Each structure stands twice: as C-alpha cells, then as structure tokens.
Amino acid sequence: MTLPLHTERLVVRELTADDLDPLAVVFADPAVLWWEPAPYTREQTSVWLEATLRRYREDGCAEYAVVIASTGDLIGDCGPAYRDIEGERLPELGWDLRSDMWGQGYATEAARGVLTHAADLGLRRLYSLIVPDNERSRGVARRVGMTVERQVVWAERPHDLWALDLP
C-alpha cells in the first residue's frame, strides 16, 4: 500500500508545508501534547513539521497526516519515525488526534492502514513507546494487535515498549 492510504473514512498521506495551519491547531490542543510543559506554539509546530519533512527524505518515513476523507480536515498524525531507544534505532509508530476527534476509532483506523504501508516499506517490526498510564494510547496499540515487549526509559520517563511483527 503506497501513500496516500485510503481507509474507510480517512486519507493518510505525507504532510506538506501547507499543513501548518491545521497541524498547529492539533498541537495547540493541551490534551494532545499533555506531556509537554505547554502545548506547541505555531512556531514550534513549524519546527516539528520541517523536521518531519526532512525525515521523509532521510529515513523514508515519519509521522503522516490523518485527514477525514469526506471533509479534507487534517485531524492528527500517525506514522513510523525512527527513534533511539536504549541504544537501538527503532521505527516507532505514533498517533495523535485533536481531542474533539477522540472516541471514534480514527487513530486505530489510521494505524491499521499505516501498518500495511510500513510492511510495504520493508519494515519487519514496529514499536510504540507508551507511558503505562496513557490508557487511550494503550487501547490503540491493543486494537492493532501490538503487545508489550519490555519496559524502557525514553525521554527520561519509564515507557512500555509495544511491538508487532509485520507480515
């Protein structure tokens, strides 16, 4: 499956510089970047977006845009980004949605599509870093078939490292 991915209700595609406005709304939501001291300013989102576009070129993947197919609204991100996890460089699948879009299965739907895409990219195993009390994120990981592989410390916090072998 190549990008853009078309799932039942979503389009998952690479972010572009034109996505800054709706992405800034996602990252300005304090419920989304709850682990940061404050939600992102537009400038901080712009820096994150630039880094993500660079990762597409350098790593071949990174977080993608999650868009409602029927409206074209960008509601979040989902995709594999390489991270250094206790000395290993591993592809980590992450997901963030604007909080008014929670509870409708969009993150799970996007993640399922991205898993198929990641297999086509040649990735054999995907990981997700989730703090143990992030119940919503654990729910997404569980629904897409991931299981906890081990506990790790990442960004100075204990995380469960969820993992899934790709077909």
Ligand X SMILES: CC(C)(COP(=O)(O)OP(=O)(O)OC[C@H]1O[C@@H](n2cnc3c(N)ncnc32)[C@H](O)[C@@H]1OP(=O)(O)O)[C@@H](O)C(=O)NCCC(=O)NCCS
Interacting residue ranges for ligand X, rule: CB under 6 A = 32, 94-97, 102-108, 130, 134, 136-137, 139-140
Nearer to ligand X, 37 or 122 (CB): 37
Shortest distance in whole angstroms from residue 100 CB to ligand X: 10
Helix, strand or coil, per DSSP, at residue 94: strand
Shortest distance in whole angstroms from residue 86 CB to ligand X: 17
Shortest distance in whole angstroms from residue 29 CB to ligand X: 8
The closest alpha carbon to 31, from 110, 81, 132, 101, belongs to 101
Nearer to ligand X, 56 or 102 (CB): 102
Q: What are phi and psi of 23, to 5 degrees?
A: -70, -35
Shortest distance in whole angstroms from residue 23 CB to ligand X: 13
CA angle (81 as vertex; 80, 83 as ends), nearest 5: 130
Tokens 């995380």, residue?
159
Nearer to ligand X, 61 or 81 (CB): 81
Nearer to ligand X, 83 or 136 (CB): 136
Locate 143 and state its tokens.
């629904």
Shortest distance in whole angstroms from residue 155 CB to ligand X: 11
Tokens 């969009």, residue?
106
Residue nearest to ligand X (CB): 105
Distance, in Å, from the CA atom of 159 to the CA atom of 64, rounded to the nearest integer, reads 23
Tokens 């195993």, residue?
125
Exposed/middle/buried for residue 151 (C-beta within 10 Å: 0-12, 13-18, 19+): exposed
Nearer to ligand X, 122 or 135 (CB): 135
